Structure 1
Amino acid sequence: MKKQYAELQKSEKEQLNMAKAQEDSRQSQNIPLQQQWRGEVVRRKAINDRVGKTTPDIQENRSKEQAATTAKLPGCQRKEVGGSLSRLWEELADVQRKLSAYETQLGLNTRRLSDLMKEKTNLQKEVYGLRDELRDSEDRCVRSERKFYRLKSTSESRQRMEQAFYMRLYNLMRRVLGMVWGFRQLE
């Protein structure tokens, strides 16, 4: 009975440890995602600050400013400034594309993080359920063990009573045989 109880307790503890290990590994997976998410937010803010949160209206204003500035310059400088401004606009467009990609990645990471948090919550519920099952099974095993020992002590006391009865019966039989033998000798 003790072996069964120990085996049951051992298997349930192993299940509990496995569930805890799964939860810990998922939490450790969440930490890099959270750090990456925070990094993306910081990068996004930095890009927005550098770019100046360009919108179509701002871009249109900048195009007008560029045209006005280049119109005032002589021909060869106009080409250099125009080329520089074109490169800057291309860089700005690249930065905006990267920003859009980062925002998309941030959305995916946020969804992944929320999924992992839900999974963590479900695993915690499962761990708590396993703990409750473990406690219940431990209680059942303790009750079974107590019942076993109670029955064992009852059985042992009955065996002692039985032995005492047989000893009395044996002594009584010896006396009866002794008396019978004595009567035969007297005859």
Structure 2
Amino acid sequence: MTDEQVLAEFRAAEALLEGHFILSSGLRSSRYLQCARVLMNPARAARLAEALAFKIPDKLKIQLGSVVSPAMGGVIAGHEMGRALGLDAMFVERPDGVFHLRRGFRLEPGQKVLLMEDVVTTGLSSREAIKAVEEAGGQVIAAAALVDRSNGTADLGVPFYPLIRLDVPTYQPESLPPELAAIPAVKPGSRAAVAA
């Protein structure tokens, strides 16, 4: 799947938004990818996950024992990646502000895991999820995401395979370009923004 085909999937789902957005990191952006909308169609979600699974090297895929994703945004993406790879998919969540495996999910000691995200911007949530997997006994050997908003600058500490890399500038709230500052900000997504 080419980058243009990936973006076409987002456009078809009305999931490529333009405006003034407050990201979970607290940063601001003029574009937002609403993965929940692109993943709400099971056939589209499967196509995207299968295309991403194709990008992960076989030498990594054969080592994997499961897929883990961070809740909320990564749950559907992780489930579809599990389906594409023929692996169990589970998720970590933040009942107390810190990611944990819950709901009876367990990893065998040393079990090799693919961390699956919907969107990576700074990589902070991914690194926090990786830490939770490690604390649960697993070993994240690679990460994947539908979208890398960092355009390759996010360091997750493991090999990272995004379906598409985008260069979408982000800004500190006090450093907005005038055209963005003129638009009222909205906070999409599943988490409250952190102070930037």
* TM-score (ref. length: structure 1): 0.20
Larger Rg: 1
Give TM-score, length-normalised by structure 2.
0.20
Larger helix fraction of residues: 1
1 or 2 for the larger relative contact order (CA 8 Å, sep ≥6)?
A: 1
Whose strand proportion is higher, 1 or 2?
Answer: 2
